[in-house]
Structure 1
Amino acid sequence: MARTKEFDPDAALQSALELFWRRGYEATSMADLVDHLGIARASIYATFGSKRELYLRALERYGEQQNPLLLSELSQPGPVLPAVRALVHRFARESAADGDGGLQRGCFVTNTAVELAPHDEGAARRVEASLGHLETLLTAALVRARAQGELPDGRDPQALARLLLVLFQGMRVIGKAGDGSARLRDAAEQALALLD
């Protein structure tokens, strides 16, 4: 008779996500995962595979949690630019909080891009997919803004979306580096001026 799992794999994956997000891949050992999840090493391997496989599944989970929020923020009916402006301000505010005694987690995708993507093809593919998804959401929102007359005809929605994407990722890095709230605020305001 097969034994049943004595833990909730979904809760364990969420807990692993939080640990990896806070500490990174290299700084998180299997012993750390065993302690944090409260699950035997053999059970982690049997359920999730290797540490790397668990990390990549946690990265996918992160996207599953973040993407609907971004889609919701950018696809509300009515004027689009207020939502884009609110998103820029939210990224600046959250990034500043990371450097102001926060958890300094940054963005899990950005963290993965810096730590793993240069030498891990699977991580690089997932990072690119996540960044591509955000770029697509931003581009679609800005195309709508231009169609509604909120954005001047001469503005390229995809180029602006790419600028915002790079800004968001840079904000997350600056936020992890320390108190960059003035830098983040100024960068956000300058980027938003391009939407006028």
Structure 2
Amino acid sequence: MSRLQTLDEARAVDHAMEIFWTKGYDGTSLADLARDLGLAPGRLNLAFGDKHGLFLRALERYRDSQARSLAPALLAEGLVLPRIRAIMLGYLQLAAEEAEPRGCLIANTAGEALPGDPAVADCLAEVMSVVEDGFLQGLEHAVQQGELPEGIDVAGNAAMLTMLLQGLQVLVKLDPDPLRLTPAVDAALAGLDAARLRWARPPA
């Protein structure tokens, strides 16, 4: 019987991602993972090598299920800037609804596993690159459809939005009232909104 027949690897990776996201790498044991998945630890070792190997797969799954969804969301029909704001505020709302906000798996892992783990560092860098590229594509789309002026620093603003998103994901774990950060999001986005308004205003 093949490994894929004896173990649904996609399900295992999805479930492991949720456990690592909630408990962290150090707070999750191979026994925890095996018990929650209903598998013997040896089966996990056979499929993924060890806990670290499964963790790398979980980070890749986070990249594909979370980070890669950003660009399509911003490239949908309609204005881009309101969707960027909605994405930021959506994280605040989610944290406000969680009993114990867990923030972002990438930000959590950066604080827990770095420096000292080159393989994890490479995974995190790739995820952040995907997020930044998603914002970049969204801002370029905003320029193309006349929402933002040509010549605006889309690369610099994409990096700023990536920093804002990651900063929010850390703060929501510490602030008892995550929605309190809404004005901070608006202040950070004010530069882009001002550029939009200047571009939309006809010359005197």
Q: What is the TM-score normalised by the length of structure 2? A: 0.85
Superposition RMSD in Å: 2.2
Aligned-pair identity (%): 38
| Structure 2 residue 156 is matched with structure 1 residue 159 | yes
1:137: which partner in 2? 134
* Counterpart residue identity of residue 36, structure 1: D
Deviations 1:82-106 (A, max 9, x none): 22222222233234444xx24x221
CA contact (8 A) 1:97 1:175 kept: no
| Structure 2 residue 175 is matched with structure 1 residue 175 | no
Deviations 1:48-79 (A, max 9, x none): 11110100101101111113421221111333
- Structure 1 window deviating more from structure 2 (75-84 vs 160-169): it is 75-84
1:27: which partner in 2? 27
What secondary structure, in the 3-state scheme, does the structure 1 residue paired with 2:172 have? helix
* Counterpart residue identity of residue 145, structure 1: A
The alignment covers a number of residue pairs equal to 193
| Structure 1 residue ranges without an equivalent (≥5) | none
Q: CA 1:7–1:153 in 2, change beyond 3 Å: closer, same or farther? A: closer
1:194: which partner in 2? 191
Q: What is the TM-score normalised by the length of structure 1? A: 0.88
What secondary structure, in the 3-state scheme, does the structure 1 residue paired with 2:184 have? helix
CA contact (8 A) 2:80 2:138 kept: yes
**How far, CA to CA, are the matches of 1:24 and 1:2 in structure 2?**
31
**How far, CA to CA, are the matches of 1:2 and 1:167 in structure 2?**
45
| Structure 2 residue ranges without an equivalent (≥5) | 194-204
CA contact (8 A) 2:70 2:135 kept: no
**How far, CA to CA, are the matches of 1:13 and 1:70 in structure 2?**
21
Q: Where do 1:7-156 residues align within 5 Å?
A: 7-98=7-98, 101-102=99-100, 104-153=101-150, 155-156=152-153
**How far, CA to CA, are the matches of 2:163 and 2:95 in structure 1?**
14
